[in-house]
Each structure stands twice: as structure tokens, then as C-alpha cells.
Structure 1
Amino acid sequence: MEDDVAAAVDAYTDDTVGGAECCPKDREMHLISGEKIIDRLDNIEDTKGNGGDRGRLIITNLRVLWHSVANPRISLSIGYSSIITVNTKIVNSKLRGTTQALYMMTSSNGTRFEFIFTNLVPGNMRHFTSVTGVHKAYVSSKPYRELKLRGAVVHNKQLKILPLEQVFTTLHGVWNLSSDQGSPGTFFITNVRIVWFADMNEGFNISLPYLQIESIKVRESKFGKALVIVCNELSGGYILGFRIDPEEKLHLTYKEMSSLYSIYAANPIYGVEYKWRSNKEDEKSPAIITDDIEFEEIEEPRSEMSNTLTAYMADEGHAKDRPAVYSNDLGLAIESVKDGFTIQKLWEVIPS
């Protein structure tokens, strides 16, 4: 994969970049291959770092961006992997006064950073909804981006397929050459990763996304010609070897993997999917979205029951308490019901 794409993903997902020298026109603020803008909000204040400065918040599938509208050189880039917690906090904004804001605690290179973003539109918390929803989607889609050893990627000899994953080839009798003797197993090639597991123990497995691959080659080994996959430094720099017989199948597998690897490099799939309902009144009354579920406030029609209760409780002309009587319907003693009303009428959910 191209070095700039891999390095950019590392910076955007694992580090927090910020400061007055980072401009939206600079390379660090450009969207990389596969990065998508999910939400964009104006009138957002960076309350902690740039209080009193109106800015724009951009939420992508890899990070949160903010920059000042008046001075775009003042900007922030926060990768989701650097986020420890996302919450709300009551703050004192220079532009809004005391209000509820989005609060993020992050960590980068052993140093913790706090970020507070206030929506300057009264009553609008869409920035909190979008950031928390996309961050949740990012955390739950790690198999698309991270090397996994001995993970729960296989069940009953079958690959647990990811939502955006498509399996192209399944090879049986593939030897993992990580030990002196090698281990036979099953090899999967998909559009986002390669997976191998041992036939004798499916818990002995590896899931390697293309994002973490440095190179794919065919080399000589003490077991003969083998498919060699070199992982990048971010995933530990592992060198994985697989023997595929016969040799003709080895070369076909190499060509297929190289092709899929190139396609992925041109348009990476990070697995971060977030859907929300667009609304023309978003800025005034945003929809609350969690993943694929939409919640709407439904106005219940007023019923006869509410009018009955209102009239009864008003009790105009009430002078003294009415005598207590035993109610067979309720099984207890109650104040006698006013003339013109019945227990059934007062307790009906749907008026008859």
C-alpha cells in the first residue's frame, strides 16, 4: 500500500493533531483515500482552546476536525483511536454563557488532552449525537483495520464475515510456516483482509487487514516456495509465510491477492458506517440517531379521557369531602364519585 495512505491513517486514527500551524489547506487536514465526511456543522466553538471563536466541526469516518472560520489556520484534528471518553459537560462559553457542551478526553503519545465543543445554536446537540455515534461505529469495526492474532474470527470452521466484507477465495490445506514444522489450515481471501486458521484448532488463527500489509511476495523458504506477507511497523512488523500446493495455485493466489491489495489501496474500506436521517430543520431540531435507529417524537392526539379527568379534578363548587364508600372495582375504600362520573369512565385508557 502507498506509504502516504498508511501514514495518514496512523496519524488520523491514533494521534491528536492540533495547533495554530495546522491549516485546513495543509496536507494533515486533507481527506485521505476512503475517508468520508459524515456530518458538517457550523457555529461550533472550541470552548477550551479557542473560546469566543466561531468555527466549523467536520466529522468523518476516521476523525473529528475543527477549524476557526475567522482564521482557518487555527485548527484541530482528533483521531477516534485517541479518544478515551465522550460525554457532555456544563461549561461557561464566551459566546453562549453557561450551557451543555460536547466533552472529549483524548490521549496521544502518553499525554492527555481535553476538548470541549459548544454548539452556538440554542438547544442543538447534533454535534454530540454525531460524534458519539460515529465513534461507536469506529470502535466496533476494528477488524477492518487491526491485525488480530488468536481472535474470535472463526466459528465452526466458518469465517465470521464482516458487514462490508466479500469472500473471494477459500483455500484448504494451506500451511502456516510460523513454526518449525508448519501447521495445515484454511485460508480466506476477502476484499478487506486475509484470514487463516489451523484445522486442528480454529483458535489458532490470524486476521490481517490489507491496511496493515507492507508487501506481498513469493519467496524461497526451507519448506519450498511460499507466499510471504510482510506487515507494516504499526502492526508489529510480522513476516508471515504460507505454503500453497501445487506451485501453480501458489502463483494464482499471489496474483489474486496482489490485485485485491491494489484495489484496496486505491479505495480503502475502513468499516465505519453511520446512518442518520437528514432533516431540513436539522439546525433547529436535529434528529436523534443511534446507529441505524431513528427516534421521533410522536404527538399523541388528545382524547376524551383527558377532558374527563380535567373536568373531574377541577371540581368547581367543592365544599366538603364526599363520604367514603367501598369500591368493588378497586377493592378498597374511596371517596364517593361525583354525580355524572363512574370509576370505569375515569380509568379507561381508551374512552368507550
Structure 2
Amino acid sequence: MALMWEDKEVSFDVPYSEMRLRLGEKVIDRIESIEDTKGNAGDRGRLIITNLRLLWHSMTSPRVNLSIGLNCLLSISTRIVNSKIKGTTEALHLLTLSSGTRYEFIFTSLIQGNSRLFTSVVGVHKAYNSSKLYRELKLRGGVVHNKQLKILPLEQVISSVHGVWNLSSDQGSLGTFIVSNVRFVWFADINEGFNVSLPYLQIDSIRIRDSKFGRALVVKSTERSGNFVLGFKVDPEEKLTTLYKELTSLHTVYLNNPLYGVEYKWNLKSNDVEQKSDLLEDLEVIEDPKNEIGNTLTAYLADEGHKKDRKPVYCKELGLAIESIKEGYTLKKLWEVIPSN
């Protein structure tokens, strides 16, 4: 399963391959006649809301598009704007943060009285924020109460193993290991606040290895979740092998059919949305735009704290004077907005 980026990045003019739904991604709403008022004023487009991101593309030139991860959204509000097509009207205003850069987006519905634009985005974003345990590692969280796992809405507990040692300290801690269809949870018997919840989405590897405590189950989390190495001692060894096989099998099943936990449904059946992996299949696709350079990136920048230009400095790589680079950035990182071949 490729590294999931869709919910954590803001991307401009992405190739068609990156607009396809990844495994587990599903369309929640599709809204026609939406203008990207800030970056593509006067261009009629379509807004697609999935359980991971917002996608907007132009109807006349689908190579002009946006992919906005739900995890990047800082605020959602309405604003009175001047649409090139509709004139003065109320629009959806989004403020986002991606790779240290703040962007703002303004979407205007060109259909009179269409409130779905705001309600869909707000509702899906709330569902995304309330379901982070499906997708993120949690240490010492409120996942257990009175020795019982707080089960998530779409979660099914597969097994519970008592007498499992967590080997994160020299002495180890005795606790309970719970396996479900979306994650595993371990918590200490004497202090349930000492716990870990690791979704299969964030597991890099599962192995049985030798340790100073003997044979142990070793689970490594992905780089995105901190590269944690978690060790667990299970006796007897047959029990350890059984737990290892169970975790490995569930991890494989999950990666083939991920469950991200974002559920949002309209009350009206007429709003059910047909699922299509190729979101542009009803448009004429001429060529892949991956070699093109988007020229609208700067239109979305929202550097609200910028009051004056930084002092110029000489750049050896370019052989000319440039404005000093903002703290936390490098020249190479700034040039990465140009798609590579």
C-alpha cells in the first residue's frame, strides 16, 4: 500500500493518476457548478468531497485542479466575495496549512440557494477529525475505561490476550493486548492510562525477534507516525506465534481494504453519490499534465503575517541575489512545487 498523502497535503494541478481514489477512499458528495473564485475566477468546475480530501477541477480543462487534504484544513467559514460569474455572493472560505505554507481557497456555488457546499465540507471535516484513532498512533490516550476498550463505531474486537508484557522499560509492564479489525491496543493492568493504540494503517512491520526477555513480538510504526518500535512478551511461545499470525493476517486484510472511519451520510436518498475511481472519466482527457508548471500557486498563498520583504542575499546555486528564504525552508524545497518527470 503506497504511503497515504491525500489527507495531509495541498496539491495543485496534479496528474490524473493522483486524482483517482486510493484504496478505501470514497466519494461522499459531488457538487456541480462550483467556481474556484481565488485561483480560477470565471471557470466553472466541480467539487468532489471524499473521506480524505476535497478535489476541485475545471470542467473545460480538468488538468486545472486542486487536491486539499482534510487534515490541512485550519478553518472553514463563509465570506462575501465578488464572483466573476455570479457577482457579489456568499462563498465558502477555507484556510489551510501544508508543509509549513498557509493557503486560502474560496469556492462559490453558481447555483442559487445551494447550501450543500458549506454543509458537506463542514460535516465531512467534523467526521474526519472525530475519527483520528482509525488513522493515527495514540500514546497514553483515553482509549480504555474500567479495563474495557472504548470501541470505535466501525470497530470489531477480534481477540483479547491477557498477561502480555510491554518491553518499553527495563522491567517491563504487564497488561492486556486487544486486537481489532482496525488497530491493536495494549494497556497496563495497574494503570490503564499507560497504553498505546496503533492502527494498521500506521504499521510498517510485524516480526518475532529475540530480546533480552526472550522471543518477543516487535511492531514498528511508519515514519509518519514516529518510527516507534514496540516490543511485547507473550508466554507461552505458542500463544506468541498465534498472536503474530493473527496480527499479520489482519494487517494484510486491512491494507487491501482500508477503513478510515470517516462516515457522513445525507438524510435524503436522492443525494447518494455513485462511486467512481476515475473521477474524470466523463470528461475528455487529452494528455497527462505532469510535465506542466502550474502558474496559479501564488494566488492561493495566505501569508497573513507578511509585512515587508526580507533582505536580499546572494545565492551561489542561482548566481544572483534573491530574497532571503523563510526560516524552515531551503531553496531545493521551494523548487519542489515544480512537478518532477
TM-score interval, normalised by the smaller of the two chains: 0.7 to 0.9
1:123 aligns with 2:113: yes
After the TM superposition, list the runs of 4 or more consecutive aligned residues in structure 1 that deviate by more than 4 angstroms.
279-282
Residue in structure 1 matching 2:62, options 72, 76, 101:
72
Write the letter of the residue equivalent to 1:131. V
Separation of aligned partners in 2, 1:154 and 1:241: 20
Matching residue of 2:240 = 250
Write the letter of the residue equivalent to 1:83. L
When residues 281 and 158 of structure 1 are mapped into structure 2, their CA distance, relative to the original with a 3 A threshold, is closer
Residue in structure 1 matching 2:193, options 194, 199, 203:
203
How far does the alpha carbon of each residue in 1:74-131 deviate from its partner, in whole angstroms, 9 at most, with x for none? 0000000000001111100001000001110000111100000000001112111111
Matching residue of 1:14 = 8
Write the letter of the residue equivalent to 1:238. F
Separation of aligned partners in 2, 1:222 and 1:148: 26
1:9-158 pair list within 5 angstroms: 9=4, 11-19=5-13, 22-23=14-15, 25=16, 27-158=17-148
Matching residue of 2:295 = none
1:179-328 pair list within 5 angstroms: 179-278=169-268
Write the letter of the residue equivalent to 1:261. H
When residues 190 and 279 of structure 1 are mapped into structure 2, their CA distance, relative to the original with a 3 A threshold, is closer
Write the letter of the residue equivalent to 1:219. R
Cα distance, 1:281 vs structure 2: 9.1
Matching residue of 1:178 = 168
Where does structure 1 lack aligned partners over 5 or more consecutive residues? Answer: 283-352
Matching residue of 2:291 = none
Which has more radius of gyration? 1
* Residue aligned with 1:14, SS: coil
Separation of aligned partners in 1, 2:96 and 2:31: 21
Separation of aligned partners in 2, 1:204 and 1:255: 25
Separation of aligned partners in 2, 1:279 and 1:13: 27
Separation of aligned partners in 1, 2:75 and 2:270: 31
How far does the alpha carbon of each residue in 1:243-265 deviate from its partner, in whole angstroms, 9 at most, with x for none? 11000010011111111001100
How far does the alpha carbon of each residue in 1:15-38 deviate from its partner, in whole angstroms, 9 at most, with x for none? 11113xx24x2x221100000000
* Residue aligned with 2:33, SS: strand
**Root mean square deviation, CA, Å:** 1.2
TM-score, normalised with respect to structure 2 = 0.78
Where does structure 2 lack aligned partners over 5 or more consecutive residues? Answer: 273-341
Aligned residues with identical type, % of pairs: 63
Cα distance, 1:280 vs structure 2: 5.0
When residues 192 and 280 of structure 1 are mapped into structure 2, their CA distance, relative to the original with a 3 A threshold, is closer
* Residue aligned with 2:7, SS: helix
Write the letter of the residue equivalent to 2:6. Y
User: RCO higher in 1 or 2 (8 Å CA, sep ≥ 6)?
Assistant: 2
Cα distance, 1:277 vs structure 2: 2.5
* Residue aligned with 2:6, SS: helix
Cα distance, 1:41 vs structure 2: 1.1
Cα distance, 1:13 vs structure 2: 1.2
